[in-house]
Amino acid sequence: MREIGEILPAQEKVEARTDLKMGKKSATDHKLNVDKVIKNINTISLELKKIKELSQLLLCDLILHFNHPVKTENLTEAERKQPPL
């Protein structure tokens, strides 16, 4: 006769399979989360590079403007001709 609380061999197998399935699911979920984080970091990195390039261009514009000021009408004409970023 078995004692109360004694685990049957079949019950051990079921619990082991359940743990294995949950472990695989957790590992898969973790891998997906890591992939999402990496993708988000790459997106942020690309946006920061764009911001850096734009700020460098704006700084160059400021330097040129203060070193060689142009008339306002020439400046607005140049701004109209400038392609959007």
| Residue extents of the structural domains in the chain | 4-67
Region of 48 (left: φ > 0; alpha: ψ -120 to 50; beta: rest) is alpha
Residue 55 CB neighbour total at 10 angstroms: 10
- Give pLDDT, residue 30: 87
- Give pLDDT, residue 66: 83
- In the chain (85 residues long), the average pLDDT of successive 10-residue segments reads 57 60 74 93 95 94 80 60 61
- Give pLDDT, residue 35: 93
- Give pLDDT, residue 27: 80
- Give pLDDT, residue 65: 82
